[in-house]
Amino acid sequence: MVEVAEATGLSNTIPSNRHGRGQQARFQMMAHSPSPLSISRRSSREVRVGSVGIGGDNPIRVQSMLTSDTRDTAACIEETLPLVEAECEIVRVTAQTRKIAENLEWIVSGIRAKGWDVPVVADIHFKPDAAMEAARWVEKVRVNPGNFVDKKKFQVREYSDAEYEAELSRIEEAFVPLVELCQERGVAMRIGTNHGSLSDRIMNRFGDTPTGMVESALEFARIARQRDYHDFVFSMKASNPKVMIAAYRLLAARLSELGDDWNYPLHLGVTEAGDGEDGRIKSAIGIGSLLADGVGDTIRVSLTEDACEEIPVAKALVKWIGSRHKTRQSDNTLAWDDIPWNPFEYQRRKSELLEIQGHRLGENETVRVFTTQKKWNAVAHKLDQLGDFKPEIVLEESGLVSIDPRNDAAIEKLNAMTRPCLITVMDGLEDLPVISYFRLLAARANPIHPILLKDTLKPPGGPESDFLETLLRASTNIGSLLSDGIGDAILVQGEEAPGQSLRLSYNILQAAGARIFKTEYVACPSCGRTLFNLQETTQRIRRATGHLKGVRIAVMGCIVNGPGEMADADFGYVGGAPGKINLYVGKEAVKFNIPEKEAVECLITLIKEQGRWVEENG
């Protein structure tokens, strides 16, 4: 390795038009945060949800959702207790129909009788009358613009301007009564877009895109604002972290562009993140990347596990992001119109091809996994036992050039090279967060040079750190950069255990969509709408299909988030009715009302029929 460490300041002038980045000036106008290097939090107004304030000067709030049937008052109250004890600050509960929503009166009064003042949020899909009933009892109502009025038919049609306006009038007629009731009672609202449930109207005009997600929410927000109702927050949730990140960035940018009084708080979440390490990594990539940019005022980590398991993950993520604000920052800045990537649309940074230790990297090649010589030596005797988690390149023998990207002389020397070399940020730097250092490197270095990403610039030298903290830090730092299109190889050096650091490396690549090497599961968290035991069923499906590398399977308790949430999945296993399962290929339901006991075998048969099945030892 080569380290370049001359100490000079960062030039305020970054070469322009050298990266072929097209028209980037608009980023300055639409920036979702002050600078790619900024760690200051986006300014927002405060919205009160019962006793809890969201946005403004409040800390980032942590939420979760009850999994009990909303008709079972005692179960809902009992389930709330451990969430309150775990310091969950807001609790959400589903209300599928007006009749079910009526029971919120007794759930809320029962929670208050216990002495708990935790705000209760009603989660509404499809049923405006359920929302109206819920707003009589709870502190906040969540509506999904994609299905509050619309029923998705996947119709392809062109809307004239007049027809589109007629659709908006129909929405207004259904939505205004809820706005007025919430305004009258002091009830807050979340206008929560889901990537998988955009209306046909939005799909046909804007497509299944972050732009469509943002516009879907703004349609409802405009109606609320016309009646001087401002007690709402936004969300832009998706199961794909890249889509989710782009949508929130675009929303924050659009709100900034619309004016200072559009400074509404944002609720962050990755839908159907799954369980275990995979669910935590995917959540950290999506939520952590945005929090690291200062975007987000309240979060929910959606795991296919007991609801209480979500809270420590969310709290650890918030704590770690908060610690970054103590980082001493350089006076030098980088503007959004100086960067070689589009923060609102994923495109991998173009670099030239290198071959290192028999592995090709850079250009459009696979993102490679590095390890240190020490860790390689520790696992060398059992490489054949590591399966898909094998180390590929040894750091010390790679010819890597380490650099301080603020260093003008070092950057000038690097950019004078006519042949590509692998570059990274040198260890030991502390003035900026890791993400900022690598963004700066990507902006200043000639794009011919591939980049090695690191999870930390301060490798552990003392007592072992908590693995959850290591996982969240690595997933946020590396995942955020991969979502920006930056990175041709990665090194997890914050985890000292060799096998664990390699597993974490590969799982981050999988969750970020940078390298698919195993079966991927899009599994929603349980809630009162769920029509089967999600945790047990997900594990059964994992055991049956976990060897199908590159196959993506969605496991969903119901269809409220929309079959579009399975747009990236190859197959879907979805609750259709109590004890009955519907199976999907992509977004299309192909088998209906399968008895739950037979459904996993039917899924295997469907995968075989589609030519995607291989035998486990085949």
For 43-111, the DSSP string reads P--EEEETTEEEETTSPPEEEEE--S-TT-HHHHHHHHHHHHHTT--EEEEE--SHHHHHTHHHHHHHH
The per-residue pLDDT for 25 is 38
The per-residue pLDDT for 531 is 58
Q: Please, how many CA atoms are within 13 Å of residue 334, restricted to the half-sphere of its CB?
A: 26
Q: What stretch(es) of the chain map to CATH 3.30.413.10? A: 520-609
Check: CB of residue 297 under 8 Å from CB of residue 60: yes
Handedness of CA 210, 214, 215, 220 (dihedral sign): positive
In the predicted structure, residue 196 carries a pLDDT above the cut 90: no
What does pTM read for this prediction? 0.87
The per-residue pLDDT for 20 is 35
Check: CB of residue 270 under 8 Å from CB of residue 512: no
15: confidence class by pLDDT, cuts 50, 70, 90: very low
Closest listed residue to residue 125, CA positions, set 154, 158, 150: 150
Closest listed residue to residue 142, CA positions, set 217, 67, 250: 217
User: Residue 199: helix, strand or coil by DSSP?
Assistant: coil
User: Residue 580: helix, strand or coil by DSSP?
Assistant: strand
Check: CB of residue 191 under 8 Å from CB of residue 140: no
φ/ψ of residue 6, rounded to 5: -60, 140
The per-residue pLDDT for 153 is 55
Tens-place pLDDT, residues 542-593? 888 888 888 888 887 666 555 555 667 888 888 877 788 888 888 788 888 8
What tokens were used for 264? Answer: 């509404």
Tens-place pLDDT, residues 63-75? 999 989 999 999 9
The per-residue pLDDT for 521 is 77
What tokens were used for 460? Answer: 């552990």
Provide CB contacts within 8 A for 109, sequence distance 6+: none
What top-level class would CATH report for the domain 520-609?
Answer: alpha beta
Q: What stretch(es) of the chain map to CATH 3.20.20.20? A: 41-267
In the predicted structure, residue 260 carries a pLDDT above the cut 70: yes
Q: Which of 20-34, 38-52, 112-126 has the lowest mean pLDDT?
A: 20-34
Check: CB of residue 144 under 8 Å from CB of residue 194: yes
What top-level class would CATH report for the domain 41-267?
Answer: alpha beta
Closest listed residue to residue 230, CA positions, set 185, 200, 208, 261: 261
In the predicted structure, residue 17 carries a pLDDT above the cut 50: no
In the predicted structure, residue 7 carries a pLDDT above the cut 50: no
The per-residue pLDDT for 161 is 82
How far is the CA of 264 from the CAs of 33, 138, 233, 295, 454, in angstroms? 14, 20, 6, 11, 34
φ/ψ of residue 96, rounded to 5: -75, -35
